[in-house]
Amino acid sequence: GDSVTQMEGPVTLSEEAFLTINCTYTATGYPSLFWYVQYPGEGLQLLLKATKADDKGSNKGFEATYRKETTSFHLEKGSVQVSDSAVYFCALSHQAGTALIFGKGTTLSVSS
C-alpha cells in the first residue's frame, strides 16, 4: 500500500541555519504531495503542496520539489527562525477528495 517515510527527529538547529527534512513516498501513479505543519498547541496547517512531477511548492520561505524519479519531496528552508519550531508532516493523496496518508512527523526545534 501507499506510504510516506520521513526522517526521524528531533531536528535541532540554530537560528539562520539551513534546514532539510527528507520525505520519500511509495505510491502507484501520480499522487499529490503535501507538507503540513503543526505549531505547539495548534492544529495542522497546510504549508505547501505540489500536484505533479517537477512542481515546486513554496510558502513562508519553505520549498519542496516533487521528484518522481527519486519519489521524494524534501522540505528545505535557507534560514530558519525560532518561530519555525514545530512538527512537520509530509503527506500524499491520490486525488482530490481522498484521504491523506501521512508520514510520522519530524519535530524541528530552533534556538536563538
Total residues interacting with other proteins, rule: CB under 8 A: 22
**Site residues for other proteins, window 43-62 (CB under 8 A)?**
43-46, 49, 51
Residue 20 CB, shortest distance to other proteins, in Å, is 21
Residue 96 CB, shortest distance to other proteins, in Å, is 4
* 105: contact with other proteins by CB under 8 A: yes
CA distances 65 to 57, 95, 98, Å, are 6, 18, 22
